[in-house]
């Protein structure tokens, strides 16, 4: 008796283990293999590297071949001799490995050998077939085939199921299971009072139709997908990947069949005619942790990323701990190291680099407009394509029109296109004379005579252009005299003779008074500009990022909008606005100076000699981008047109044509305006949306290296995509990429995907899976408590179109589910962990459900679905304690308003410091795939629900509601609170306790009104100012008490 | 039947103490340990630590992790010959083509940077200590130096993870979790495993750390570290909301308890009973934690011993005094992180601040523990995740230089808790680049620490994914007996 009890407990009241000692039939999987696996397989199992004496006991043929086992003859079987030996040199397992095989286990092995030593393949590797629904004695109990399986095992154990729970309990249980939130009291009343025989089903259907369903189911999936809002390693910076989270919610709400759900997440990027949504789904494989630590060796991390993707997929779909085969053949499961890397090669072909760049949008990414823009975005994309084709067609056809224009136009006609208005200064610098240049200053011509001859070079917008030399200075006292509140624009044609040049192109600047003034600047062959009151504290400086090549002509232009803001200074090269680096941004004072305007230098320094320049213009106005394009284009075009067509090179002819199209040709202008409008429309939608991290294959075909001991620099054989031999092979029409892998997981012969999936569903509802090790269906995992039920559900799920809602509905419609949670002493003893389902599910809710329940009951919960993650209250310093200086997730600044009250699944998840209050309730850090959360019971959890402002504020809010709406007596208010939180009324004993508490609170806060004020001032939300602070404080503490009841924390 | 009753009794008592299935199993383990000897099958012992394998020399641990990797060359590994090598290239015969980080692998030269600091011998052991650690130098005869630590990891994230969990890839339990799992709690009102993240005086080269470092990995999460913070809220949510004094909190808890009892009577869920106890424990923690962190009761001699830094909340010295107070109250494992040791550049500008943070505090802690009779059973561990290179990273002058990561050798020390005071173990070559005598791998170090804690590292396992997982991994490693008193 004593012995048997311990053994039973040993298997945690699983169905295995007990019967064997009572003389039932032996079953290899249930009775024998656990012993061999524990004591022998480490050295005599699948792992070829660890195998000792070339002996394998996991395969019958090999064991017989080596005479380790002689079927029918235990006395001749070496294994028995070894087990029973007393010689420390001979006995197995060797004492050094600290494994003990008990006398009972030895007897069992002998009996197994006597009976023929039959092996079985591991149960989960045999494809499920739908078993018959068992016969039960009590024909009235079952409401679904599930119940027949459960009842059948209950009848065998001689335990009665629990009675059905009352409707209020069921209403709350169903709502929490299907939506993650407590039900609305009016829905509960409606259900309780619904006389229809379909009342229960109608209530279930209503919950299944709620959008809260997708959020709640999605939350479990996000643990498996290791979804988080930061990269995870080192800087652990923000990652903008919430589009994937919203995709998951939406997929559940649309009841996407699980096969499609699988294909899109594993291979959405590879599907023909893939949609934005399908690409977002491929973000499943982008949720892994990444690094940007300086000094890392990229290959090391690329190997880790691939490994994580392989392990995650194996764990989520197949319940296999494939990671065990990274360094060596799996010790227990038939996955060799080679097979691991073959599987890994499916994921080893991405264009993603090793470094995340510390940026939110690590490539490969796609743009994701808002859902409401999505149709228009795609349509605009198609229209854009059409317009581009139209443009190409037009360009190919309009040559005759161009030739006709060419024949009739004149240089002057073209120059007339250049803006004349506000032209304050113009120096063509193309005179070609001995020592004179002609300028136009404020509309008046002026001549400048040099003392030495001017050096002329061939021009670009004119036949000649000036070469700057100190001997021929160009200086004008009254040009370019601007104040910082005046707009201006200036430009010139410029050719730099060499690399690395730095100096002023044109300037009006006085170095001696803090560099006051402005310039067009060249810095290491980059074009820039200064606007300075006093350098460097009171100045603007920008430098365009593009480098100017020596020997090439550029049209450079600067505009300033008089705003004194750095954004008000724009730089253009060849008529195109340029991205700039900002080197100074604080201009406050005047830029006006008495120093003269000079070309190729500031007043006394920064000369730029040997550059060739022409057509220097200054406008006393802000020129529009189109005008700037004309200044650049028309000046050059007029020069080209001015030369006989025969003299133009083919490149010049083409240049003129390319200028003519947008500048003159009306059809082209019209088309390109359409093109620009569509592009602008799309980028506006992109800006209003988000991005998605997606998978993207490299051009070559996938492969991976076997890595000795799993080390990135220990490459061995190269392998290509292939699935493990122990599982059914891929079909010949399945491509050797992630699409094929997904199809393979879903093929009917695949023994794992369906079982693992329905088991996880079961776990969410009943607290533990039929296979408790939800992530390990391998040999070292636990056996199913109800194997036939698991197989029945697995086949049923697949045969009914992988319909997720249907499967959950079946679970919650069952009599098994509807049982009351009452635990009798008998059940506590015979079935302490409810493995037999002798009662209804009751367990502490997950972190998110606990917080969401409080927010929902208090009326604070926001109904908004999706969008960027939010930052509710969190104690100071949680991020700071672990984050690097410079990390953009170091400072936690709580949001305000609605974002404080969103569902917990939207809370910003920083991997190095997950949401503090949730982590205490066993929320994972989302670094790696989690398919089963722990469920502990600790004092730190009590501190959260007692003291966290999220809970205290919710309590105050519900107290306020109760005082406003609850009724005119304390009993009624208490009832109001109870119905919102627990979906029932307190019984008289409970009411008595709570009213006593209330009286004590009231007595205290009447005396200590300051404390009352402090308490009700906690949290951002407001309360009714007419509410009596003492009453509000007292009721707040009372709700605090209710929130912390065991019942409130349990479903 | 008697056993059945006993088991249930044990089970329940354990729920009262700590709650959670893991602990109820731990109770079962003790029992099965006894039963096992009589030949009962022990499959239930799969997930259970069965207590120490032999009497622990160290019952408690204070682990000072210096994040970033302190330079052994400027603190403890004296290399006088290097003065003749100033600005000369590291010979290939020394480097032997070993891999470098990509921060210096592109450098054209690897010029030797001798330490700018003077070294002197101290104590009976004659340990060479740099002038930047004058207070620590007074304690060398209490300390056990290992100058031949080595690791394979070359960058911080994997290296810290390796040092803390025995594996470069995250997700394994850390030393503190293993210790809690193995030895359990000594105090019902405080956590078993506490983490303190100290604020360094200088923050120029702070490295990332993460709560994952004190996670319990595959061990039940009861064994995860509880992070204490500097300031008024040392444990998250330990303080009542504003306007809620202790007596009101007590009344709330009385109400919760009374209703939970009713609930238990009607539903019979044993977790309800456990929850009642957890709420009571939370209440006691609310009293014991402020008592722990309030230094008002410390005598003036404490402040003299540790110096003024100890009054700065969050400073390393302050954390180390808190660690002593925790050890006094029965916290099993105190893990302290001190950052900013990643001296790629400006070592001379940073090292004095780093040493000022740690030096007198070390002297204070060792002497404080000694005077309270706690030293012999409290193991202090000091060290980073790797060492630093003899060659300079970036600009080199006699007065200033930087050093890149160096996994091939570095120095750690232990004190108290059964470690052998006055030991100087292991030797590196003249460049402190390679180990020439008595190498100690991270796994060897862990095996040695476990030995001090009463565990044979090969037998101290936890079943996960079908394997007997252990802190020291699968590669052979050894207990370094020479480090044990």
Q: Residue A72's CB: how many other CB atoms inside 10 A?
A: 12
A1021 to chain B, closest Cα gap in Å: 16
pLDDT band for position A860 (50/70/90)?
very high
Is the pLDDT assigned to residue A668 strictly greater than 70? Answer: yes
User: How does pLDDT run across A118-175, given as a tens digit for each residue?
Assistant: 998 889 999 999 999 999 999 999 999 999 999 999 999 999 999 999 999 999 999 9
Handedness of CA A917, A919, A922, A926 (dihedral sign): positive
Contacts of A17 in chain B (CB under 8 A): 43
Mean pLDDT score, A313-330 = 89
User: How does pLDDT run across B65-107, given as a tens digit for each residue?
Assistant: 999 999 999 999 999 999 999 999 999 999 888 888 888 888 8
A1045: nearest CB among B44, B260, B467: B260
d(CA A797, CA B91): 67
Cα atoms in the Cβ-side hemisphere of radius 13 Å centred on A520: 29
Q: According to the model, what pLDDT value does residue A968 have? A: 94
Q: According to the model, what pLDDT value does residue B276 have? A: 94
Is the pLDDT assigned to residue A188 strictly greater than 80? Answer: yes
Q: According to the model, what pLDDT value does residue B96 have? A: 86
Interface touch A885/B206, C-beta < 8 Å = yes
Is the pLDDT assigned to residue A264 strictly greater than 60? Answer: yes
Is the pLDDT assigned to residue A702 strictly greater than 80? Answer: yes
Q: DSSP strand E in A805-848: where? A: none
Q: According to the model, what pLDDT value does residue B171 have? A: 83
Q: According to the model, what pLDDT value does residue A204 have? A: 98
Contacts of A1015 in chain B (CB under 8 A): 241-244
Is the pLDDT assigned to residue A18 strictly greater than 80? Answer: no
Interface touch A1015/B243, C-beta < 8 Å = yes
Q: Is B266 on the interface with A (CB under 8 A)?
A: yes
Mean pLDDT in chain A? 93
d(CA B69, CA B66): 6
Percentages (nearest 5) of helix, strand, coil residues in chain A: 45, 15, 45
Query: Which of A946, A949, A1000 has the highest number of chain B CBs within 10 A, making it the mutation to test binding with B?
Result: A946
B121 to chain A, closest Cα gap in Å: 36
The closest alpha carbon to B321, from B230, B227, B389, belongs to B230
d(CA A724, CA A321): 13
Q: DSSP strand E in B308-429: where? A: 333-338, 378-383, 387-392, 403-406, 410-415, 423-425, 427-428
User: How does pLDDT run across A549-589, given as a tens digit for each residue?
Assistant: 999 999 999 999 999 999 999 999 999 999 999 999 989 99
B138 to chain A, closest Cα gap in Å: 32
Mean pLDDT score, B274-282 = 92
Is the pLDDT assigned to residue A13 strictly greater than 70? Answer: no
Q: Is B106 on the interface with A (CB under 8 A)?
A: no
Q: Is B259 on the interface with A (CB under 8 A)?
A: yes
Residues with Cβ within 8 Å of residue A649, at least 6 apart in sequence: none
Partners of A692 in the beta sheet? A366
- A105 → chain B, closest CA residue: B41
Interface touch A943/B222, C-beta < 8 Å = no
Q: What class does CATH assign to B60-239+298-463+477-483? A: alpha beta
Report, in angstroms and rounded to the nearest whole number, the Rg of chain B calculated over CA atoms.
24
The closest alpha carbon to A695, from A342, A363, A1042, belongs to A363
Place of tokens 């060739």: A612
Mean pLDDT score, A428-432 = 91
Interface touch B268/A823, C-beta < 8 Å = yes
Mean pLDDT score, A861-865 = 97
Is the pLDDT assigned to residue B368 strictly greater than 50? Answer: yes
User: How does pLDDT run across B433-459, given as a tens digit for each residue?
Assistant: 999 999 999 999 999 999 999 999 999
- B189 → chain A, closest CA residue: A939
Is the pLDDT assigned to residue A778 strictly greater than 90? Answer: no
Interface touch B211/A919, C-beta < 8 Å = yes
Is the pLDDT assigned to residue B27 strictly greater than 50? Answer: no
Could you check whether the bond before residue A364 is cis, i.e. omega within 30 degrees of 0?
Answer: yes
Mean pLDDT score, B44-66 = 79
- A38 → chain B, closest CA residue: B466
B239: nearest CB among A100, A917, A947: A947
Interface touch B233/A100, C-beta < 8 Å = no
Mean pLDDT score, B199-221 = 86
Contacts with A, B 79-98, CB within 8 Å: none
Question: At A1003, phi and psi to the nearest 5?
Answer: -60, -45
Place of tokens 């090439």: A552
Contacts with A, B 317-376, CB within 8 Å: none
User: How does pLDDT run across B288-312, given as a tens digit for each residue?
Assistant: 999 999 999 999 999 999 999 999 9
Is the pLDDT assigned to residue B8 strictly greater than 90? Answer: no
Interhelix angle A185-192/A199-209, nearest 10 degrees: 150
Complex ipTM value = 0.80
- B248 → chain A, closest CA residue: A1001
Is the pLDDT assigned to residue B338 strictly greater than 60? Answer: yes
B267: nearest CB among A296, A822, A883: A822
pLDDT band for position A270 (50/70/90)?
very high
What is the pairing mode between strands A715-719 and A704-707? antiparallel
Contacts of A291 in chain B (CB under 8 A): 157
Residues with Cβ within 8 Å of residue B157, at least 6 apart in sequence: A233, A234, A291, A293, B170, B208
d(CA A182, CA A1049): 11
Mean pLDDT score, B112-132 = 97
Is the pLDDT assigned to residue B17 strictly greater than 60? Answer: no
- A1008 → chain B, closest CA residue: B243
B50 or A194, which is more confident:
A194
A913 to chain B, closest Cα gap in Å: 6
Q: According to the model, what pLDDT value does residue A70 have? A: 94
User: How does pLDDT run across A28-81, given as a tens digit for each residue?
Assistant: 888 898 899 888 888 898 887 778 888 889 889 889 999 999 999 999 999 999
Mean pLDDT score, B2-7 = 42
d(CA A128, CA A787): 10
Query: What does the block give as tokens for B362?
Result: 């070390």
Contacts of A877 in chain B (CB under 8 A): 229, 231
A912: nearest CB among B212, B266, B404: B212
Boundaries of every domain in chain B: 60-239+298-463+477-483
Residues with Cβ within 8 Å of residue A1003, at least 6 apart in sequence: none
d(CA A53, CA A971): 78
Q: Is B67 on the interface with A (CB under 8 A)?
A: no
Q: According to the model, what pLDDT value does residue A24 have? A: 64
A297: nearest CB among B4, B102, B256: B102
Residue % of chain B over a pLDDT of 90: 74
Q: Is B10 on the interface with A (CB under 8 A)?
A: no
pLDDT band for position B49 (50/70/90)?
low
User: How does pLDDT run across A481-517, given as a tens digit for each residue?
Assistant: 999 999 999 999 999 999 999 999 999 999 999 999 9
Interface touch A829/B4, C-beta < 8 Å = yes
Cα maximum dimension of chain A:
122
Mean pLDDT score, B360-387 = 98
Query: What does the block give as tokens for A1040?
Result: 């605090």
- Supply the DSSP symbol for A32: I
Cα atoms in the Cβ-side hemisphere of radius 13 Å centred on B352: 6
Interface touch B466/A321, C-beta < 8 Å = yes
């Amino acid at each position: 008796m004593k012995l048997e009890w311990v053994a039973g407990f040993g298997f945690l009241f699983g169905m295995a283990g007990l019967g064997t000692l009572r003389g039932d039939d032996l079953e290899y999987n249930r009775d024998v293999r656990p012993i061999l696996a524990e004591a022998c397989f480490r050295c005599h199992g699948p792992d070829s590297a660890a195998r000792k004496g070339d002996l394998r006991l996991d395969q019958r043929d090999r064991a017989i071949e080596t005479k380790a086992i002689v079927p029918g003859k235990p006395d001749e079987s070496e294994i028995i001799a070894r087990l029973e030996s007393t010689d420390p040199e001979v006995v197995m397992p060797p004492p050094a490995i600290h494994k003990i095989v008990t006398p009972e286990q030895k007897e069992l092995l002998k009996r197994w050998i006597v009976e023929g030593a039959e092996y079985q393949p591991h149960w989960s590797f045999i494809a499920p077939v739908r078993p018959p629904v068992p016969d039960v004695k009590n024909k009235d109990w079952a409401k679904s085939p599930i119940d027949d399986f459960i009842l059948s095992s209950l009848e065998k154990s001689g335990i009665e199921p629990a009675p059905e729970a009352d409707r209020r309990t069921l209403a709350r249980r169903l709502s929490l299971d299907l939506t993650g939130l407590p039900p609305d009291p009016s829905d509960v009343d409606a259900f309780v009072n619904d006389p229809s025989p379909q009342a229960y089903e109608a209530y279930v259907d209503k919950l299944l139709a709620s959008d809260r369903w997708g959020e709640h189911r999605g939350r479990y999936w996000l643990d498996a997908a290791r979804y988080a809002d930061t990269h995870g390693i080192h800087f652990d910076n923000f990652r903008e990947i919430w589009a994937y989270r919203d995709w998951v919610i939406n997929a559940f709400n649309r009841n996407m069949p699980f096969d499609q759900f699988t294909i899109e997440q594993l291979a959405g990027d590879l599907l023909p005619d893939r949609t934005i949504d399908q690409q977002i789904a491929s973000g499943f494989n982008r949720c892994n942790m990444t690094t940007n630590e300086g000094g890392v060796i990229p290959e090391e991390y690329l190997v880790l990323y691939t490994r994580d993707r392989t392990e995650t997929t194996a764990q989520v779909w197949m319940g296999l701990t494939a990671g065990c085969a990274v360094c060596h053949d799996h010790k227990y499961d038939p996955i060799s190291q080679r097979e691991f890397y073959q599987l890994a090669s499916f994921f080893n072909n991405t264009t993603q680099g090793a470094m995340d760049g510390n940026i939110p949008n690590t490539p490969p990414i796609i743009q994701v407009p808002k859902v409401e823009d999505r149709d228009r975005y795609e349509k605009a994309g198609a229209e854009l394509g059409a317009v581009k084709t139209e443009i190409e067609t037009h360009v190919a056809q309009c040559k005759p029109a161009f030739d006709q224009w060419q024949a009739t136009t004149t240089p002057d006609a073209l120059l007339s296109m250049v803006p004349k208005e506000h032209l304050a200064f113009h120096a063509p610098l193309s005179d070609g004379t001995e020592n004179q240049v002609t300028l136009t200053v404020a509309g008046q011509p002026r001549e400048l005579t040099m003392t030495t001859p001017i050096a002329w070079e061939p021009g670009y917008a004119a036949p000649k252009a000036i070469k700057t030399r100190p001997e021929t200075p160009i200086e004008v006292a009254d040009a370019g005299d601007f104040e910082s509140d005046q707009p201006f624009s200036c430009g010139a044609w410029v050719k730099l003779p060499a690399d690395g040049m730095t100096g002023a192109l044109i300037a009006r600047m006085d170095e001696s008074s803090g560099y006051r003034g402005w310039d067009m600047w060249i810095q290491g062959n980059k074009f820039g500009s200064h606007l300075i009151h006093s350098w460097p504290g009171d100045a603007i400086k920008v430098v365009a990022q593009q480098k100017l090549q020596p020997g090439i002509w550029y049209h450079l232009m600067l505009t300033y909008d008089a705003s004194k803001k750095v954004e008000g200074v724009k730089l253009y090269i060849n008529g195109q606005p340029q991205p700039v680096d900002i080197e100074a941004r604080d201009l406050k004072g005047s830029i006006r100076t008495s120093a003269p305007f000079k070309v190729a230098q500031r007043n006394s320094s920064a000369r730029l000699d040997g550059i060739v320049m022409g057509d220097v213009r200054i406008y006393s106005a802000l020129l529009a981008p189109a005008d700037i394009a004309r200044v650049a284009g028309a000046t050059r075009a007029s020069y080209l047109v001015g030369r006989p067509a025969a003299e133009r090179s083919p490149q010049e002819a083409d240049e003129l044509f390319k200028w003519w199209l947008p500048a003159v040709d009306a059809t082209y202008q019209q088309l390109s305006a359409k093109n620009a409008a569509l592009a602008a429309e799309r980028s506006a939608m992109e800006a209003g949306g988000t991005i998605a991290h997606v998978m993207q294959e490299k051009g070559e075909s996938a492969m991976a290296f076997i890595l000795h001991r799993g080390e990135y620099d220990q490459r061995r054989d190269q392998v290509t995509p292939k699935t493990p031999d122990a599982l059914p092979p891929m079909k010949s029409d399945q491509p050797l990429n992630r699409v094929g892998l997904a199809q393979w997981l879903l093929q009917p012969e695949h023994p794992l995907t369906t079982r693992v999936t329905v088991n996880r569903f079961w776990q969410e509802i009943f607290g533990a899976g039929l296979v408790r090790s939800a992530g390990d269906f391998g040999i070292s995992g636990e056996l199913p408590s109800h194997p036939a039920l698991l197989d029945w559900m697995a086949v049923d799920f697949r045969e009914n179109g992988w319909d997720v809602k249907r499967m959950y509905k079946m679970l919650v419609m069952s009599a098994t589910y509807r049982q009351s949670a009452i635990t009798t002493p008998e059940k506590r003893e015979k079935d302490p962990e409810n493995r037999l389902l002798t009662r209804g599910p009751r367990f502490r809710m997950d972190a998110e459900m606990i917080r969401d329940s409080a927010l929902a009951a208090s009326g604070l919960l926001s109904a908004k679905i999706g969008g960027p993650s939010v930052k509710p209250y969190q104690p100071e310093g949680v991020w700071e304690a672990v984050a690097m200086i410079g990390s953009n997730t170091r400072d936690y600044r709580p949001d305000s308003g609605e974002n404080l009250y969103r569902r917990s699944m939207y809370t910003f998840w920083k991997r190095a410091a997950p949401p503090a209050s949730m982590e205490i309730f066993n929320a994972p850090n989302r670094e790696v795939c989690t398919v089963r959360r722990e469920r502990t019971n600790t004092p730190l959890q009590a501190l959260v629900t007692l003291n966290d402002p999220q809970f205290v504020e919710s309590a105050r809010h519900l107290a306020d509601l109760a005082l406003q709406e609850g009724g005119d007596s304390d009993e009624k208010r208490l009832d109001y609170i109870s119905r919102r939180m627990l979906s029932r009324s307190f019984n008289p004993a409970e009411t008595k306790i709570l009213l006593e508490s209330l009286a004590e609170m009231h007595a205290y806060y009447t005396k200590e009104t300051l404390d009352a004020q402090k308490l009700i001032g906690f949290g951002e939300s407001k309360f009714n100012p007419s509410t009596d602070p003492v009453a509000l404080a007292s009721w707040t503490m009372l709700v605090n008490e209710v929130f912390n009841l065991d019942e409130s924390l349990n479903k | 039947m008697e056993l059945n009753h006993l088991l249930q009794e044990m089970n329940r008592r354990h729920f009262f103490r700590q709650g959670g299935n893991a602990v109820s199993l731990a109770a079962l383990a003790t029992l099965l340990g006894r039963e096992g000897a009589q030949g009962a099958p022990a499959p239930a012992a799969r997930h259970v630590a069965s207590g120490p394998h032999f009497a622990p020399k160290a019952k408690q641990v204070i682990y000072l992790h210096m994040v970033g990797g302190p330079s052994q060359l400027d603190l403890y590994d004296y290399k006088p010959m290097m003065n003749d090598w100033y600005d000369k290239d590291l010979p290939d015969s020394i480097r032997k083509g070993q891999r470098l980080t990509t921060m210096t692998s592109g450098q054209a030269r690897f010029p030797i940077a001798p330490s700018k600091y003077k070294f002197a011998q101290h104590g009976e052991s004659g340990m060479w200590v740099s002038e930047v650690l004058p207070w620590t130098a007074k304690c060398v005869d209490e300390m056990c130096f290992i100058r031949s630590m080595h690791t394979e990891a070359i960058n911080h994230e994997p290296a810290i993870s390796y040092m803390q969990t025995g594996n470069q890839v995250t997700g394994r339990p850390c030393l503190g979790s293993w210790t809690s799992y193995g030895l359990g709690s000594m105090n019902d009102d405080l956590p078993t495993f506490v983490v303190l993240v100290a604020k360094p005086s200088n923050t120029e080269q702070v490295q990332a750390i993460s709560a994952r470092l004190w996670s319990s990995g595959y061990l039940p999460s009861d064994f995860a570290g509880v992070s204490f913070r500097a300031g008024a809220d040392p444990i998250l949510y330990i303080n009542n909301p504003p306007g809620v004094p202790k007596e009101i909190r007590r009344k709330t808890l009385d109400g919760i308890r009374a209703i939970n009892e009713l609930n238990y009577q009607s539903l019979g869920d044993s977790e309800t009973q456990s929850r009642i106890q957890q709420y009571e424990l939370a209440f006691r923690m609310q009293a014991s934690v402020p008592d722990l962190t309030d230094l008002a009761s410390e005598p003036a001699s404490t402040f003299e011993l540790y110096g003024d830094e100890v009054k700065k909340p969050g400073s390393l010295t302050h954390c180390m005094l808190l660690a002593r107070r925790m050890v006094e109250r029965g916290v099993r494992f105190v893990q302290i992180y001190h950052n900013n040791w990643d001296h790629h550049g400006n070592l001379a500008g940073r090292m004095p601040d780093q040493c000022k943070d740690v030096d007198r505090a070390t002297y204070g802690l060792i002497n404080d523990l000694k005077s309270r009779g706690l030293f012999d059973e409290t193991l202090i561990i000091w060290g980073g995740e790797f060492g630093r290179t003899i060659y300079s990273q970036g600009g080199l002058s006699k007065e200033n230089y930087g050093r890149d990561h160096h996994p091939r050798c570095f120095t750690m020390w232990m004190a108290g808790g059964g470690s052998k005071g006055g030991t100087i173990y292991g030797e590196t070559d003249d460049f402190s680049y390679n180990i020439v005598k008595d190498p100690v791998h991270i796994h060897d170090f862990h095996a040695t620490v476990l030995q001090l804690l009463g565990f044979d590292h090969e037998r101290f396992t936890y079943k996960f994914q079908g394997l007997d997982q252990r802190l020291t991994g699968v590669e052979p490693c050894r207990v370094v007996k020479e480090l044990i008193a």
